[in-house]
Amino acid sequence: MKKSQLIAGNWKMNGSLAANEALVRAVVAGLAGGGAACRVAVCVPSPYLAQVRSLCEGSALELGAQDVSRHGQGAYTGEVSAAMLEEFGVRYAIVGHSERRQYHGESDSVVADKARAALAHGITPIVCVGETLAEREAGQTASVVRRQLAAVIDAVGDGLARIVVAYEPVWAIGTGRTATPEQAQQVHAALRAQLRAATAQADGVAILYGGSMNAANAASLLAQPDIDGGLIGGASLKAPDFLQIIAAAH
């Protein structure tokens, strides 16, 4: 059975104590007033987890992290473990975002390890997959996202039904360019087929679109049969825009 859609904000490296409070209070108030039909989360920088957890308390807004270590503990300076995130009530953790793959050299196997680490502590990994513009123009979209997802499928075993997948065409992140609803649906359908081949519970796995979804295009993207929500970047930093995207979900 398909789950309700999920709208997850990714603040990236943005925020301040004052800005966070204003933003989260506005989002919480909007959710309370309208009664969102979907699940809603914000994935925030690690230093703000405690603050945002407090601001979310008693609301429908869930807490997410932007990354998680593949390691449980030890001499890994700067890393944050899944056990630490669990203590802060983190519900979701983004793994394999294209910016982590590009700037930090994260391989498919590292991403798979991170997904497994999150699941071991009851945290839902939001597994990001997506192709660059060069890969799309070379006709490699399907093979790239299939390879990226296959690594996670192989690593998490029975935990597969508890992950979230986010398709984020790299060429559409922060560029203002967006895949058309038809382009996005085509990739989402391929990912769904790959999940169905791996688990009988594939239709319960949310597949989010993560390439510059905004208030203007959210409704048309979210209407596609295999698009189960959005991983929202810049628009999640503006409460009115984020709430408008949430209102378009179901």
CATH number at residue 137: 3.20.20.70
Q: What percent of the chain has pLDDT over 90?
A: 91
**Within a domain: residue 216?**
yes
Per-residue pLDDT at 45 exceeds 50: yes
Query: What pTM value is reported for the model?
Result: 0.96
Closest CA to 90 of 58, 49, 38: 49
Model pLDDT, residue 174: 75
Query: Which residues are known to be catalytic?
Result: 97, 168
Q: Does residue 98 belong to any structural domain of this protein?
A: yes
Q: Tell me: the pLDDT tens digits for 5-20?
A: 999 999 999 999 999 9
Does residue 55 register a pLDDT over 70? yes
Summarize the confidence of residues 152-175 as an average pLDDT.
93
Rounded to 5 degrees, φ, ψ at 105 are: 65, 30
Token code pair at residue 178: 């967006």
Q: How far apart are CA 218 and CA 40, in angstroms?
A: 15
Taking residues 56-81, what's their average pLDDT? 97
Q: How far apart are CA 190 and CA 207, in angstroms?
A: 11
Note the pLDDT of residue 1.
Answer: 45
Residue 58 region, left (φ>0) first, then alpha (ψ -120 to 50), else beta?
A: left
Residue 194 domain boundaries: 6-234
Q: Is a pLDDT exceeding 80 seen at residue 136? A: yes
Q: What is the mean pLDDT of residues 220-229?
A: 96
Domain assignment of residue 119, yes or no: yes
Answer whether residue 240 is part of any domain: no
Place of tokens 């791996």: 198
246 in a domain, yes or no? Answer: no
Residues 6+ apart with CB under 8 A from 60: 28, 31, 32, 36, 39, 40
Domains contained in the chain, number: 1
Mean pLDDT, range 185-200, rounded to an integer: 97
pLDDT exceeds 90 at position 175: no
- Work out the percent of the chain whose per-residue pLDDT is above 70: 98
Classified as helix, coil or strand, 18 is: helix
